[in-house]
A and B are shown apart, each in its own frame.
Chain A
């Protein structure tokens, strides 16, 4: 079984207080440092060049060395992820990264222009697709989530099944229609859309009998993350 990656942290015991009195004070600010805003904007603008998709962008952050993932603040992860994508997709070179500058060039034909930013952000990128395949599971059906390794299409690849929810009894609540499969899309293996289900897992199934009866976690799982329960 592949090792749990640092980003896959749901349910790991931790007694850190989430929001301290000091952090509450400046909490209303959207960006705490000017460079946070810049890192976010660079990530979006570089993504608009069309060389990678959102799933690949998430996977790039997940692939950061574990020490970096743990030590980096949020926007440092974003910046490192986009830097590595820019280099692996040959938009910039390692030498340019090391120099911190580059020779001037004419604007790239897909460079996001300021006048269309608002429209591009407002239109987004829907991921639901029409497919002929009928959903295998109906609402109310008992299913089991697979092990992480059984959802991967690429060794050590991308999945959106969290470790805490793997191998658990669940109930189908609804089908959202077919959505692009991140496990394929993150690795540029096409969209491979398949039915996406909203599933419920009881807190007792996840955390044991001390959990409060009736409490549950809802997740979205693609059909290939689930198996029928006999």
Chain B
């Protein structure tokens, strides 16, 4: 049906400049009472300022200092995070995967951009890039090298392609230099990329 085909491509009727395209659609939706501008502002505020990698970092730091919590997290993250109120949109079903001396984990979504939003926020641009989506599964070690990561020769690389609504968070290994810190201080070491598997925890900049 040609008409239906046209409907599928109604986006081509919007202005060519992206910012104007967004404004046009927002104008239509707010005027029609389908969307409220205050709601948009609220959503943006939450993802720009409230939900981000600092949440995942606290989980990792607690796992480093509390063996029972770590065990529960690795066995059943969904329940643990649910009880902490961290099983929201795009993180309803989470599995935490642990880096060890034998395994290095890294996460990708080759089909779109699935990512554990309640723990890490909105994914960074590179995670959503075609290059990462194409290359992470085929040549993870080369990709890791670009990020400055060299898995130990004894480590296998396990790439998690988020093809369903399961979301994956990497539990990085605690750096030896961080030993003795409490959970609050340790959380400062945990980088976003270390929880995706493309980085290592880093000493906080003072």
Q: Is the CB of B43 within 8 A of A124?
A: no
Q: What are 18 A-B contacts with C-beta separation under 8 Å?
A: A14-B131, A23-B126, A30-B121, A41-B44, A42-B25, A73-B18, A79-B25, A82-B25, A83-B14, A84-B7, A88-B8, A92-B29, A97-B10, A106-B33, A120-B89, A124-B88, A164-B137, A215-B156
Report how many residues on chain A are interfacial, defined by Cβ distance under 8 Å: 104
User: Does B41 interact with chain A (Cβ within 8 Å)?
Assistant: yes
User: Does A142 interact with chain B (Cβ within 8 Å)?
Assistant: no
Contacting residues, chain A, for B48 (C-beta < 8 A)? 30-31, 37
Chain B's nearest CB lies how many Å from the CB of A161? 7
* B-contacting residues, A194-218, CB 8 Å: 196, 198, 203, 206-207, 212, 214-218
Residues of chain A whose beta carbon lies under 8 Å from any beta carbon of chain B: 7-14, 16-19, 23, 27, 30-35, 37-42, 44-46, 49, 54, 58, 61, 63-65, 68, 73-76, 79-84, 86-88, 91-92, 94, 96-98, 100-108, 111-114, 117-118, 120-128, 160-162, 164-165, 176, 179-180, 182, 196, 198, 203, 206-207, 212, 214-222
Q: Is the CB of B31 within 8 A of A103?
A: yes
Q: Is the CB of B42 within 8 A of A117?
A: yes
Chain A's nearest CB lies how many Å from the CB of B175? 21
> Which residue of A is nearest B47, CB measured?
A30
User: Does B38 interact with chain A (Cβ within 8 Å)?
Assistant: yes
User: Does B202 interact with chain A (Cβ within 8 Å)?
Assistant: no
Contacting residues, chain B, for A206 (C-beta < 8 A)? 137-138
Q: Is the CB of A9 within 8 A of B133?
A: yes
Question: Per DSSP, are chain A's interface residues mostly helix, strand or loop, or mixed?
Answer: mixed
Q: Is the CB of A14 within 8 A of B130?
A: yes
Q: Is the CB of A9 within 8 A of B34?
A: no
Chain B's nearest CB lies how many Å from the CB of A60? 8
Question: Per DSSP, are chain B's interface residues mostly helix, strand or loop, or mixed?
Answer: helix
CA distance A35 to B23 in the complex (A): 8
A interface footprint on B109-127 (CB within 8 Å = 1, 0 otherwise): 0111100001001101110
CA distance A23 to B32 in the complex (A): 38
Contacting residues, chain B, for A80 (C-beta < 8 A)? 11, 14
User: Does B62 interact with chain A (Cβ within 8 Å)?
Assistant: no
Q: Is the CB of B40 within 8 A of A45?
A: yes
